[in-house]
Amino acid sequence: MMFTPLLCNFAWHSVDKKSLFSQDDRMTAARLANTMWTSMKGRPVQGRIFQGKEPPQFIALFQPMVVLKGGLSTGYKKSVEEQNVKDETYASDGIALIRVSGTSVHNNKAVQVDAVAASLNSYDCFLLQSGNTLFIWQGTSSTFEQHQWATNIAEFLKPGAGFKHAKEGTESSAFWFTLGGKQSFSSNKVTTDIVRDPHLYTFSFNKVLLQVSEVFNFVQDDLLSEDMLILDTHSEVFIWIGQCVETKDKQKAFDIGQKYIELAMCLEGLASDVPLYKVTEGNEPCFFTAYFSWDSAKAAAHGNSFEKKLAILFGTIFHASESKDKSNNASQSGPTQRASALAALSSAFNPHSQSKPTNPIPARSTKGSSQRAAAVAALSSVLTAEQKKAQVEGSARRFGRNSPPDSNATGSFKEETASSVVWDPAEDSAENADVSQSNDVNSEENQDTVVGENADENTYSYERLKAKSRKPVTGIDYKQREAYLSDEEFQTVFGMTKQAFYQQPKWKQDMQKRKFDLF
């Protein structure tokens, strides 16, 4: 199996409550990101990330991920000077309080917070730095994994130094003195964003007006090469760009994405700092394809929608049949009717091929989709019949069979091909539904079934496998906690078998694992 390396280009924006980071710095970051994206011909996934909303794939790039206060850019230093405020940039010999959260490489990060007792939380671990002294504070509801991560961060910040461990309720007076005195702090778990079903939208954009239309029960086939679409997962927003979209429209992707976010903020309560991505056709990352029953063969096809349909559905059959016809000119009915079907299919896919569309985002047409489906069915019938005929004749020669092909079969083939290029417009909707249903079935059949590798190894109780367990299991793959459940307990917790669970899309698996504290 060959894997294509994933290229990502992220622009990370800090969120400072004192607004010390200048707009110039953010514009410079965006401009550099666009330059890099253009220089690589649009292949990288381009993302805009805000502090505090980092997605798992971004956090995993940094091991460990540590976000400290202040900055080193000239824009930040200039803002500090102009506003005449204290520069809070982290210093290795100063006082700093750092919160350590998360339990895996995909959600673990350390963020510097205000060095006061009120910043503590019972569900997290904290590092308190005072000169050369470093305390590792463990909340009563923190996990064993968090304790390990906190130690790793401490060694990263102060390699070789000695650490003082302090559990909640056993703090020394020196600890509270560094924080300015003992105060009450939160013992509530910080809530994460609610997981919602993803939504796919087509849209039209005219300068400042954005109109969207939802694609219900979407599948991979809804991503047409002539379109730009919006995928909203509530935690992230993707702008998908087809290969055949004009360059000037590709450049507007982030503007369109921002307009959509502003619209969704009012209608759906979407966060203003949600991660925004620009994804081009053929370069889809795994965190995008996870929301589809993705077929890599379809994604690898090139050309417009018409050409890709031929390449995917009939490419091999077409070339085999054409080669057969060139070597054997005894019958001319096959090529003639294939040409008719191809012409019908081309007309259905390109109904206005003589005039260049003025709208940068081609509008979808239900009628066009019906004609397209009918033409696909017609061409499929023609080429399938020709292939069957070629296989019968080839088999007779290959195995030395002297009996001639069945004349009735030949007659049936001629009748079928003669009528296959004509369809009843009244049956368009029915045929379109059949083709869509067939595509959905094929997508489901091609979906890989992933089963936890540890399913047949040692099993543990649900109470010990939970992320917030009082007696956590050690030495397991924490990203697949559910795999260590017995079959019976797995059925009790998730209400389904392991096989059924792993056949679901990745985002649904993660949603259920979060629900049962196994993420």
Query: In the predicted model, is pLDDT for residue 111 greater than 90?
Result: yes
Rounded CA separation 445/78 (Å): 59
Rounded CA separation 168/310 (Å): 66
Q: Quote the pTM value.
A: 0.58
Rounded CA separation 235/233 (Å): 5
More confident call, 456 vs 234 = 234
Query: In the predicted model, is pLDDT for residue 209 greater than 90?
Result: no
In this prediction, residue 84 carries a pLDDT of: 85
CB distance 205 to 256 below 8 Å: yes
- Average pLDDT value for the chain: 75
CB burial readout 4-43, b (16+ within 10 A) else e? eeeeebbbebbeeeeebbbeebeeebeeebbeebeeeebe
In this prediction, residue 473 carries a pLDDT of: 87
- Of 32-41, 184-193, 327-336, the one with minimum mean pLDDT is 327-336
pLDDT category of residue 81 using cuts at 50, 70 and 90? confident
CB burial readout 277-302, b (16+ within 10 A) else e? bbbbbebbbebbbbbbbbbeebbebe
Query: In the predicted model, is pLDDT for residue 386 greater than 60?
Result: no
Compute the average pLDDT of residues 280-306: 85
Query: In the predicted model, is pLDDT for residue 222 greater than 50?
Result: yes
Check if 90-178 and 462-515 are the same fold: no
In this prediction, residue 193 carries a pLDDT of: 63
Angle between helix 428-446 and helix 366-398 axes, rounded to 10 deg: 60
Q: What angle do CA 221, 224, 228 make, to 5 degrees?
A: 125
In this prediction, residue 174 carries a pLDDT of: 92
CATH topology of domain 90-178: Severin (3.40.20)
Which tokens go with 90? 């982290």
Domain coordinates of the chain in residue numbers? 8-58+196-208+221-292, 90-178, 299-446, 462-515
Which tokens go with 119? 């910043």
Compute the average pLDDT of residues 112-135: 93
Which CATH entry fits the domain spanning 8-58+196-208+221-292: 3.40.20.10, 3.20.20.70, 3.40.1190.20, 3.40.630.30?
3.40.20.10
3-state helix, strand, coil in the chain (%, to 5): 45, 15, 40
Q: Summarize pLDDT for 152-180 with one digit per residue, the tens.
A: 999 999 988 889 999 999 999 999 999 99
Query: In the predicted model, is pLDDT for residue 192 greater than 70?
Result: no
Rounded CA separation 283/467 (Å): 34
Alpha carbon 519 to its chain's center: 18
Query: In the predicted model, is pLDDT for residue 333 greater than 70?
Result: no
Rounded CA separation 218/106 (Å): 28
Query: In the predicted model, is pLDDT for residue 332 greater than 50?
Result: no
Rounded CA separation 64/155 (Å): 11
Q: In percent, how much of the chain has pLDDT > 90? A: 29
Q: Comparing C-alpha atoms, which of 99, 139, 111 is closest to residue 53?
A: 111
Q: Regarding the domain with residue range 462-515, which homologous superfamily does it belong to in the CATH classification?
A: Villin headpiece domain (1.10.950.10)
In this prediction, residue 304 carries a pLDDT of: 78
More confident call, 416 vs 431 = 431
Sign, CA torsion 398/400/404/409: negative
In this prediction, residue 413 carries a pLDDT of: 35
Q: Summarize pLDDT for 133-150 with one digit per residue, the tens.
A: 999 999 999 999 899 999
Rounded CA separation 149/267 (Å): 39
In this prediction, residue 375 carries a pLDDT of: 53
CB distance 33 to 11 below 8 Å: yes
In this prediction, residue 342 carries a pLDDT of: 53
pLDDT category of residue 315 using cuts at 50, 70 and 90? low
**Amino acid letter at 384?**
T
In this prediction, residue 406 carries a pLDDT of: 45
